[in-house]
């Protein structure tokens, strides 16, 4: 058989993402389109408002689908499968893309695949690098800080996770308290280029632990105290970023050694962070990051996860599959 076109939809949080991926006969993949509408309505609240997110997905999804089809130069009739995120995420937001995708698959009479959001983040990097297991996967986003060992395709062993805030959430909160704007990751990263990373001392989180967990609430509190004591926002950004990057890299390197892996996939919104990329680049591990536009939430990564499932011979999902806030 020839190439197959897979449509991927992600509406798990505050981005309406639709992507189209071409699965080639040999198993190779190519991202043909990746369109994302990033909701700005939440900025005034400093965090995502679930009800507003759902409503905006409803308003935007038709338009974003049209843009994706245009970018790929195809029509709905050319699609061979439809995939959508079923979780984890905000249930009301997830349901928009999930029901839309199921309806589309049913109308087009093509198979439907429910994708796991974190698997999408992992395949955003792994597929592009044509990486096959075993490898370690660090997912660092606004909602997750999860470290998995992937001994074989489709098998995930959780080695560690955050005990409190997610990494991206910590970037967002520190940016907010320092008055640097939302979303905080890009704002901290930008301010950090002007600041002194040694200006504010941070204690290493979970120092001495033998496991592979993460913790960011201590860094957040220390940042708040430093801010109240008059630390300059740029210095605070640079110092916090260095501490956050160090704990992520150090823990991941230890986990890779423990699991005997040489390759690490780093994905999710925080994987866009330049300092994080540089710090991982300085380790002896082979580190794979998602390409342009694939770090933060998007639909192409959901189509990539479905492509991997199709390649592995997984059966399509039943149309009764529901949305789940927390998926295993
Ligand atoms: O993957 P993502 O789009 O959504 C979730 O699934 O959560 O990640 C969004 C998170 C936000 O917290 C944002 O501040 C963070 O990723 N982020 C960054 C950068 N770009 C986005 N954090 C650090 N540095 C960046 N350059
Ligand atoms: Zn995400």
Average pLDDT over residues 214-226: 97
- Tokens describing residue 85: 């995120």
Query: Same structural domain for residues 112 and 212?
Result: no
**In this structure, is residue 127 part of a structural domain?**
no
Query: Same structural domain for residues 249 and 107?
Result: no
Kindly give the distance from the C-alpha atom of residue 102 to the centroid of ligand 2, in angstroms, as a whole number.
21
Kindly give the distance from the C-alpha atom of residue 180 to the centroid of ligand 1, in angstroms, as a whole number.
15
Q: Each residue of 140-174: pLDDT tens digit?
A: 999 999 999 999 998 999 999 999 999 999 999 99
Query: Same structural domain for residues 214 and 260?
Result: yes
CB of residue 171 inside a 6 A radius of ligand 1: yes
Average pLDDT over residues 38-56: 88
**Residue 80 sits in which domain range?**
4-122+295-311
Ligand nearest to the CA of 171: 1
Query: Same structural domain for residues 283 and 299?
Result: no
Name, in order, each residue with C-beta under 8 angstroms of 219's C-beta and a sequence gap of 6 or more.
Answer: 170, 174, 202, 205, 240, 243, 244, 247
CB of residue 186 inside a 6 A radius of ligand 1: yes
For the chain, where are the alpha helices, taking DSSP H only? 50-72, 91-108, 117-126, 167-177, 184-192, 217-228, 233-259, 274-281, 300-311
Query: Same structural domain for residues 110 and 237?
Result: no
Mutate to test the pocket of ligand 1, among 14, 42, 85, 185 (most ligand atoms within 8 A of CB): 185
Kindly give the distance from the C-alpha atom of residue 119 to the centroid of ligand 1, in angstroms, as a whole number.
16
**In this structure, is residue 317 part of a structural domain?**
no
Query: Same structural domain for residues 90 and 164?
Result: no
Query: Same structural domain for residues 283 and 142?
Result: yes
Please tell me the predicted confidence (pLDDT) of residue 266: 98
Q: Each residue of 20-32: pLDDT tens digit?
A: 999 999 889 999 9
Query: Same structural domain for residues 304 and 180?
Result: no
The ligand 1 atom nearest the CA atom of 296: 3
Query: Same structural domain for residues 284 and 300?
Result: no
Q: Each residue of 273-324: pLDDT tens digit?
A: 999 999 999 999 999 999 999 999 999 999 999 999 999 999 999 998 889 8
Please tell me the predicted confidence (pLDDT) of residue 146: 97
- For residue 257, the domain's CATH number is 3.30.420.40
Give residue for tokens 């997912």.
139
**In this structure, is residue 318 part of a structural domain?**
no
Residue with CA closest to ligand 1 atom 16:
269
Average pLDDT, the chain: 95
**In this structure, is residue 103 part of a structural domain?**
yes
**In this structure, is residue 328 part of a structural domain?**
no
Mutate to test the pocket of ligand 1, among 47, 87, 169, 171 (most ligand atoms within 8 A of CB): 171
Q: Each residue of 86-99: pLDDT tens digit?
A: 999 999 999 999 99
Percent of the chain scoring above 90 in pLDDT = 90
Q: What is the ipTM of this complex?
A: 0.98
Distances (CA, A) of 313 to 107, 113, 126, 305: 23, 12, 18, 13
261 burial type by CB count under 10 A (0-12 exposed, 13-18 middle, 19+ buried) = buried
Query: Same structural domain for residues 175 and 249?
Result: yes
Query: Same structural domain for residues 60 and 178?
Result: no
Kindly give the distance from the C-alpha atom of residue 53 to the centroid of ligand 2, in angstroms, as a whole number.
15
Please tell me the predicted confidence (pLDDT) of residue 327: 54
- Tell whether residue 117 is among the known ligand binding residues: yes
| Residue 36 backbone dihedrals phi, psi, to 5 degrees | -130, 130
Query: Same structural domain for residues 189 and 54?
Result: no
Beta partners for 33?
A: 20
For 127-183, where are the alpha helices, taking DSSP H only? 167-177
For 128-287, where are the alpha helices, taking DSSP H only? 167-177, 184-192, 217-228, 233-259, 274-281
CB of residue 141 inside a 6 A radius of ligand 1: yes
- Structural domain total, the chain: 2
User: Is there a contact between 297 and 269 (Cβ–Cβ < 8 Å)?
Assistant: yes
């Amino acid at each position: 058989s020839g190439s197959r076109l897979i449509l991927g939809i992600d509406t798990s949080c505050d981005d309406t993402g639709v992507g189209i991926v071409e699965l080639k006969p040999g198993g190779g993949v190519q991202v043909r389109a990746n369109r994302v509408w990033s909701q700005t309505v939440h900025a005034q609240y400093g965090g995502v408002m679930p009800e507003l997110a759902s409503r905006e997905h409803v308003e935007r999804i038709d338009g974003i689908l049209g843009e994706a089809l245009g970018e790929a130069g195809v029509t709905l009739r050319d699609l061979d499968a439809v995939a959508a995120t079923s979780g984890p995420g905000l249930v009301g937001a997830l349901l928009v893309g999930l029901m839309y995708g199921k309806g589309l698959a049913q109308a087009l009479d093509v198979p439907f695949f429910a994708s796991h959001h974190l698997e999408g983040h992992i395949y955003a990097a792994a597929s592009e690098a044509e990486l096959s297991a075993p490898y370690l996967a660090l997912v660092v986003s606004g909602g997750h800080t999860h470290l998995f060992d992937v001994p074989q395709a489709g098998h995930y062993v959780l080695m560690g996770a955050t005990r409190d805030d997610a990494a991206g959430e910590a970037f967002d909160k520190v940016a907010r308290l320092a008055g640097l704007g939302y979303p905080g990751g890009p704002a901290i990263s930008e301010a950090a280029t002007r600041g002194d990373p040694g200006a504010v001392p941070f204690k290493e989180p979970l120092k001495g632990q033998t496991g592979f967990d993460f913790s960011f609430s201590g860094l957040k509190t220390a940042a708040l105290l430093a801010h109240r004591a008059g630390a300059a926002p740029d210095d605070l950004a640079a110092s916090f970023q260095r501490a956050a990057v160090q704990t992520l890299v150090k823990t991941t390197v230890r986990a890779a050694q423990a699991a005997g892996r040489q390759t690490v996939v780093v994905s999710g919104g925080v994987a866009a962070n330049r300092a994080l990329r540089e710090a991982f680049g300085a380790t002896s591990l082979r580190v794979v990051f998602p390409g342009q536009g694939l770090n933060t939430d998007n639909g192409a990564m959901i189509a990539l996860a479905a492509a991997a499932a199709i390649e592995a011979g997984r059966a399509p999902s039943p149309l009764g599959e529901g949305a789940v806030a927390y998926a295993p």
